[in-house]
Structure 1
Amino acid sequence: MNVALIVLVVYFALMAAIGMWTTRRSSTSTEDYLLGGRRLGPAVTALRLQSSSMSGYMFLGAGSLGFTQGYFGMWYALGDLGGGILNLSVLGRRMRKLSKMLGSVSSIEYLEDRYQSPWVRIVAAPIALGALFLYVLSQFIAGGSGLASVTGLDFKVALLIAVGVIVLYTFLGGYLAVAYTDFIQAIVMLIGMLWILIATLRSVGGVTTGHERVGEVNPNLLTMWGADLQYQADWGTILGALLLFSIGYMGWPHVVVSHMAMEKPSVARGAGVYSMLFNILFIPAPYLIGTMAIVLLPGLSDPEQAIFEVAKSVLPEFAVGIVMAAVMAAIMSTADALLLQTSTIAARDVFGRFFIKNMSERQMVRISRTMVLLLAAGGIGLALWQPPGVFALVVFATTILGSAFAPAYICAVWWQKANSVGAIASMIAGTVVSVAWKQSGLADMTSTDPMLAGLLASTIAMVVGSLLTQKSHPVSSEIREAMADL
């Protein structure tokens, strides 16, 4: 067994141990299993939020974008840098207070409680389930691909191992296991990524020399306009890249649930500081490594393997194992959050709300755990059948989530006139427009990113729908009073 594989086995065992440790604290209570009992502090909140939003994209998609388009990828990084603190500042404290007042324990249930209509949940649940499942699928593929690349295992075997570990601790410990493992995994991600970056810059002769060598290959790669300058003044695409990981992920159910799990509303302030520090150190690194890989790996056939292959070429074998643990940390920290949130929506927001009346807490937890297994099985099946590219899948899924839900979550705590009609219209418009924009080719024809088009459509639908129906669907005095206290 090689050194890298030994390190990974130890790391996987640690994650499983955390899941078993948290089992007794989250096995029967719905609030404990789904929100960790609302007792998480600022450091765990921030790093759990950041690691669950970063995903395997940062080790596969970001490196690939750097390798193929150079510094154009930094538009995504710029949006991502302030995404965490923006999310915590806009939603954190207010969403924690309002969700507690309403007694909501899932991100979709919260929307129904705030907008006071079962139709909000009927519309929101399938949109969230579909997009989150695509996102889960991308993480499974990333996990299998990364593990296979470093260990030499067959992709199918690597996929089963990676998913098996994720499912084990998510199944056992619920949100508490997800939060604590994500906290540890964020630290491992940061150490691993910085280690690769430092070794990469040393290998190319430093930042200046590295840039000169990249410029010799294609000077356009050192601009932020793409390898062929195809994005020069293409502000629709650029704005979409900036919005994807800043405004966009205020609509990701698996991320915003972090606000609901905070110990108290004031945790958001401290969490914002931790979030910003983590982002500054972590986010630019994979794009820069991918760009430098152009020099180090000129014959690389699969750009999504850029960071893995760079790590193997610039680091000693024992360090590759640690870095691979960081890669798996990025993947697992998102996959576990996605699995838990998707199973929660299916169990509580679909079965518990519409099919099994008066569901007990034990039943809820049991169904949620069963859904974790079913979702994992479905994801493995699709990943083995025909694995798509991770970057494209992540961008597509997160675009739908951001377009559909960001205005609904933001207006829920900031606009007292936002009502059920506006919320439903917003979710439908954001979903339809973002998907249609991408699939019909309008993104290329109009030079406007699907995220930008989707957010504009959902925001307009929220405002117009709410204002036109204030008399027929007024916001209740209870909600208005609760919002006034935020």
Structure 2
Amino acid sequence: MNTIVTILGYGVVVLLIALSTRRHTDADEFLMGSRRASAVLIGGALFTLVGGGELIALTALAYTNGYSALALFLGYALGFIYLASISKRIRAVPQSQRFLSLPDYMHNRFGTVAGHLVFVVSFAAFFAMLLIQFTAGGQLLSPLLHISYTGCVLIAAGIAATYLFIGGFKTVLATDVLQGIARILLLPVIIFAVARGTNHAVDTTIRTSEPLPISVWFSLTITGFFASAASSDVWQRIYAARSDRSASRGFLFGAVCIMLFGWFLVKLGILARTAGITQDADSAFVSSLSVGLPVWAQYFAVVLVLSTILGTADTEIFLLSGMLGREVSRVSGARTIDAVYREQSIKRSRAFVVLISVCAVGLSLIFTELIAIYTWLLSSILVIAPMIIASLYFDAKRSLVIASISLNLAVFMALIGLGILQPENAYWIVVPGFALYAASYFLGGAKNDKFGEKGRSDSI
């Protein structure tokens, strides 16, 4: 009963935040928070992109491979640091004050076909991310609340959709800071409680962790780097910052926080193994919270899980709603980024928030295999990574951009078809795209580009 009260209390807090930020003068303020986010808000919003999938996947990886499991999070952090160094370049595009995320950038820079391709890949990837949050919420909260999986999914989705419907993007940023603080403070306490609950016991019959082979460690780091550097939700934070300095400092702050949180998760995974809490790596996180955890710590665990799930779910719901609304405007006949911008409305944006939430809940009740979905999500972003990164430095024909995406997509589908797609080999997806850009550059099909210093066609 007390854990239910904890859920209700959390819901009241985020609802009050939504009510305090609910005033919106136009749709862009609702969708992007007036583009006045400080470095702290940007950093918190980046750090909380670590969601339920990472809770389970990283703890499982640490259970098997110890501290070397941090390779993926190191890649994420390096991606943030890289974007911090070029955020001014990204924001220098004259039309960037109308952009919501990567699809807008690609429509404006390379035209309709490239823009639609990036939208499709990004939408599929982040809808899968949203499914992961609701699926993880059901799997993680159910043993803590003693409520069915379906009930927990509905609770998490209901809370997220309600405060997003009311408050908009300002609520996303404000709750991200609150949720980020909760994660950093509560996870060490929970690790302490788990250790105490098992009396620091070490099961000597359990095989110790085996470090990742250096090749796999390198692969995971590269995969994490490209996944964060070409991520639509990450780019949305760049456009939402109030200045180049705020964007840069926010990304550096986010890199530090994500490594700190990753280190705590790794500690929990190692503890789950050495204390003999479970024999199954994939259940390391869930078992750690449900085996030997004191009653007082269960309340903290509920807040930790809920803040982690909602901190990512609200971002993905809002990102997906905004991208879908803009793409609908383009299909309906809007030909410029300014025309797409003008067609936004708060009413329609809220309708898409509800639509995305309902669809995600329905599918999360069907698909419950977290690790597989997480691997596909992480890898699908790599399809567009070469084209995104190369376009920041080289001007290229639209046909080259489309070919780059198509080649990477073919590798992605081939790895899935062969049943061998894993985070440790996903980096192969980017090889064709980068190779094509390199060949085109040396053959004269691409050239150095003084990014942001010359105007772009606003035609989409």
TM-score with structure 1 length normalisation?
A: 0.84
Equivalent positions of 1:283-432 (< 5 A) are 283-299=262-278, 303-313=281-291, 315-348=293-326, 350-355=327-332, 357=334, 361=342, 363-388=344-369, 390-401=370-381, 403-413=382-392, 415-432=393-410
Counterpart of 2:323, as a letter, is: I
| Superposed displacement of residue 146, structure 1 | 1.6
Of stretches 339-348 and 4-13 in structure 1, the one that deviates more from structure 2 is 4-13
| Superposed displacement of residue 152, structure 1 | 0.4
Structure 1 match to 2:236: 257
Structure 2 match to 1:454: 429
Structure 1 match to 2:58: 62
Counterpart of 1:329, as a letter, is: S
In 1, distance between residues paired with 2:341 and 2:78? 40
In 2, distance between residues paired with 1:80 and 1:104? 23
Pair 1:450–1:97, CA change in 2 (3 A) = same
Pair 1:482–1:359, CA change in 2 (3 A) = closer
In 1, distance between residues paired with 2:91 and 2:452? 15
Counterpart of 1:279, as a letter, is: I
Give 1:481's match in structure 2, choosing from 434, 454, 459.
454
| Superposed displacement of residue 205, structure 1 | 6.7
Give 1:114's match in structure 2, choosing from 94, 109, 115.
109
**Residue 158 of structure 1 pairs with residue 138 of structure 2:** no
Counterpart of 1:255, as a letter, is: V
| Superposed displacement of residue 155, structure 1 | 0.6
Does the CA contact (< 8 Å) of 2:278 and 2:284 recur in 1?
no
Q: How many residue pairs end up in the alignment?
A: 452
Of stretches 334-343 and 56-65 in structure 1, the one that deviates more from structure 2 is 56-65
| Superposed displacement of residue 159, structure 1 | 0.7
Any unmatched runs of 5+ in structure 1? 226-231
**What is the SS of the residue equivalent to 2:316?**
helix
**What is the SS of the residue equivalent to 1:417?**
strand
Deviation sequence 1:415-474 (CA, Å, 0-9, x none): 142443333222222233123223314558xxx944211121222234445666749xx9
Pair 1:355–1:330, CA change in 2 (3 A) = same
In 2, distance between residues paired with 1:59 and 1:240? 20
| Superposed displacement of residue 143, structure 1 | 1.2
Does the CA contact (< 8 Å) of 1:422 and 1:463 recur in 2?
no
Pair 1:478–1:163, CA change in 2 (3 A) = closer
Deviation sequence 1:219-253 (CA, Å, 0-9, x none): 3x1x313xxxxxx45x2x43331123223211110
**Residue 33 of structure 1 pairs with residue 30 of structure 2:** yes
Equivalent positions of 1:7-86 (< 5 A) are 7-25=6-24, 29-52=26-49, 54-86=50-82
Does the CA contact (< 8 Å) of 1:76 and 1:242 recur in 2?
yes
| Superposed displacement of residue 345, structure 1 | 1.6
Does the CA contact (< 8 Å) of 1:204 and 1:292 recur in 2?
no
| Superposed displacement of residue 22, structure 1 | 2.1
Pair 1:274–1:168, CA change in 2 (3 A) = same
Q: Give the structure with the larger helix fraction.
A: 1
In 2, distance between residues paired with 1:387 and 1:128? 21
Does the CA contact (< 8 Å) of 1:408 and 1:423 recur in 2?
yes
Does the CA contact (< 8 Å) of 1:417 and 1:466 recur in 2?
no
Structure 1 match to 2:412: 434
Of stretches 312-321 and 460-469 in structure 1, the one that deviates more from structure 2 is 460-469
Deviation sequence 1:293-342 (CA, Å, 0-9, x none): 124344456x4443343234454323321222122211111111111111
**What is the SS of the residue equivalent to 2:365?**
helix
Structure 2 match to 1:228: none
In 1, distance between residues paired with 2:417 and 2:217? 19
CA RMSD, 1 decimal: 2.9
**What is the SS of the residue equivalent to 2:243?**
coil
Counterpart of 2:321, as a letter, is: S
Does the CA contact (< 8 Å) of 2:134 and 2:364 recur in 1?
yes
Does the CA contact (< 8 Å) of 2:42 and 2:241 recur in 1?
yes
Does the CA contact (< 8 Å) of 1:421 and 1:469 recur in 2?
no
| Superposed displacement of residue 72, structure 1 | 4.9
Does the CA contact (< 8 Å) of 1:57 and 1:394 recur in 2?
yes
Equivalent positions of 1:79-98 (< 5 A) are 79-89=75-85, 91-98=86-93
Equivalent positions of 1:223-302 (< 5 A) are 223-225=210-212, 232=213, 235=215, 237-299=216-278
Structure 2 match to 1:217: 206
Any unmatched runs of 5+ in structure 2? none
**What is the SS of the residue equivalent to 1:135?**
helix
Does the CA contact (< 8 Å) of 1:346 and 1:368 recur in 2?
no
Does the CA contact (< 8 Å) of 2:43 and 2:251 recur in 1?
yes
Pair 1:124–1:469, CA change in 2 (3 A) = farther
Structure 2 match to 1:229: none
**What is the SS of the residue equivalent to 2:144?**
helix
In 1, distance between residues paired with 2:453 and 2:305? 45
Does the CA contact (< 8 Å) of 1:185 and 1:333 recur in 2?
yes
TM-score with structure 2 length normalisation?
A: 0.88
Pair 1:365–1:110, CA change in 2 (3 A) = farther
Does the CA contact (< 8 Å) of 2:53 and 2:371 recur in 1?
yes
In 1, distance between residues paired with 2:305 and 2:67? 22
Does the CA contact (< 8 Å) of 1:311 and 1:323 recur in 2?
yes
Task: Work out the percentage of aligned pairs sharing the same amino acid.
Answer: 20
Counterpart of 2:18, as a letter, is: G
Does the CA contact (< 8 Å) of 1:79 and 1:245 recur in 2?
yes
Deviation sequence 1:374-426 (CA, Å, 0-9, x none): 222222222212422x232122112111x12323332333x142443333222
Does the CA contact (< 8 Å) of 2:375 and 2:421 recur in 1?
no
Of stretches 173-182 and 424-433 in structure 1, the one that deviates more from structure 2 is 424-433
Counterpart of 1:355, as a letter, is: S
